[in-house]
Amino acid sequence: MDYRDLIAYQKAFKLAMRIFEISKNFPKEEIYSLTDQIRRSSRSVCSCIGDSYRKRRYPAHFISKLSDSDMENTETQVWLNFALACKYIDASTFSELDQEVVEIGKLLNYMMENPEKFGSKRI
């Protein structure tokens, strides 16, 4: 199994790519602020999942990296709130993206609560 086979990774990658496409329409004055931040945080969810999978042999490291991924996922949610409030996305798009963030968070929390199911071993 590879980290790319994890459902959490697949959903996070899909969300990051969707955010990338949507954020292309954000105003130019947001390029170094909201646009950059939401792209970075959504992509970091994926990179932290990959990192965690490589650390899966050690439960504490695995959980720590997944916690970082969960933090980045929440940051993405915060930026989505700003995008909605600034009217860069409509309520329907926000709702869809927000639901995806929530689902990814649930998957990450499941992984943190059950590290042994992902190859973590007590040493």
Residue 70 lies in a domain: yes
Task: Give me the domain span that covers residue 63.
Answer: 3-116
Taking CA 87 as the corner, what is the angle to CA 73 and CA 90, rounded to the nearest 5 degrees? 75
Residue 94 lies in a domain: yes
Predicted TM-score of the model (pTM) = 0.95
Burial class (CB in 10 A: 0-12, 13-18, 19+), 12: buried
pLDDT digits (tens, 9 = 90+) for 51-109: 999 999 999 999 999 999 999 999 999 999 999 999 999 999 999 999 999 999 999 99
Number of domains in the chain: 1
Assign residue 49 the CATH number of its domain.
Answer: 1.20.1440.60
Residue 123 lies in a domain: no
